[in-house]
Structure 1
Amino acid sequence: MLLWFNAAGCGLLAGLFFTFSAFAMKALGRMEPSGGIAAMNSINETILRSLFMPLFWGTTLASLGLAAIALSGWNEPAAKSMLIGGLVYIFGMFVCTIAIEVPLNNELARVDPGSDAALPVWQRYQRRWTGWNHVRTLACLVACVLFIQALVERG
């Protein structure tokens, strides 16, 4: 069940992150900086009270669990796929989110959208946040594929 949950969860998160990488950030960037900042801050506040959070934490804990299961049963079918999928997800999605994306979100939340300082903060935010979001998108996609591969390997 853990593999099924994580394959589906990673796929959902890959799609969410892809949305931001492919067009949402471009659309926000076309807005006046004050509007783009306000919209992104609203998204960041709303996501904390959404179904994203249980999925975010659930897939992270499941990835840790799958990596541990893989290490304890290294000779079992799918162990390598589970371990690599878990590690890619933990480092590429979770660590990236906590260490880079959240601090960028916090910095954006502190800026006054109508101030002169808003434009350079917004421009830097868009560039850095989107670049690291590409990493999260790819990590979720790779982990999803590896977890599906593990399901196939287990029969």
Structure 2
Amino acid sequence: MTAITKPLSITATLFAGAIFGFFYAWVCSTMWGLDTMPPARAIEAMNAMNASVRNATFFPTFFGTPVVLALAALWQRRAGYRRASIWFWLAAATYLILGAGLTMAINVPMNEALAVTPIPQTGAEAEAIWQAYSGKWQSWNQMRTLASGAALLFACIGLTAL
């Protein structure tokens, strides 16, 4: 049981780092870039990115992170690493509720609503749609990025306890 504990813990931490990096990239480049585009093109680009993220590469990271963190916590507990286990449980819960949970409750419905919105024919219409979407979406994305960063930090603290 101990033989798998450390590799599983490192893998879980890597998963947490990958999902944090994904959300962070949206914060520090993707959305800022879209905000510089003509709004109709930004809407088209956002719709294309949202459609493309539903793939076999993203799925395990987004949905698997809380699972792998929880499995690591369980294995740590069974191997006698109680303190590490607590940190990994905290990481799993933080990401599950405030990372994946916010995404599914807020960002995904916003993305789905944008996807069915007809691309406006005038610049003013597109501007109004993009302005209503982008600021709110970015605020919630910052929250899930902070939560994912906290989950990564908690996993790193847990690693030091092994």
How many angstroms apart in 2 are the aligned matches of 1:19 and 1:75?
Answer: 33
Task: Show structure 1 runs of 5+ residues with no match.
Answer: none
CA RMSD, Structure 1 to Structure 2 (Å): 2.3
Name the residue aligned to 1:127. Answer: 135
Name the residue aligned to 1:109. Answer: 115
Name the residue aligned to 1:77. Answer: 83
How many angstroms apart in 2 are the aligned matches of 1:101 and 1:67?
Answer: 28
Q: TM-score normalised to the size of structure 2?
A: 0.83
Could you tell me which amino acid in structure 2 is paired with residue 2 of structure 1?
L
What SS does structure 2 have at the residue aligned with 1:22?
helix
Question: Which of residues 5, 12, 21 in structure 1 aligns to 2:11?
Answer: 5
Question: Which of residues 20, 37, 46 in structure 2 aligns to 1:40?
Answer: 46
How many angstroms apart in 2 are the aligned matches of 1:104 and 1:71?
Answer: 39
Name the residue aligned to 1:137. Answer: 145
Name the residue aligned to 2:3. Answer: none
Q: Which has the larger radius of gyration?
A: 2
1:108, CA displacement in angstroms? 0.7
1:110, CA displacement in angstroms? 0.9
The answer to which of 32-41 and 51-60 deviates more is 51-60
Q: Give aligned-pair identity as a percent.
A: 27
User: Do 1:6 and 1:144's aligned partners in 2 also have CA atoms closer than 8 Å?
Assistant: no
Q: TM-score normalised to the size of structure 1?
A: 0.87
How many angstroms apart in 2 are the aligned matches of 1:66 and 1:75?
Answer: 10
Task: Show structure 2 runs of 5+ residues with no match.
Answer: 1-6
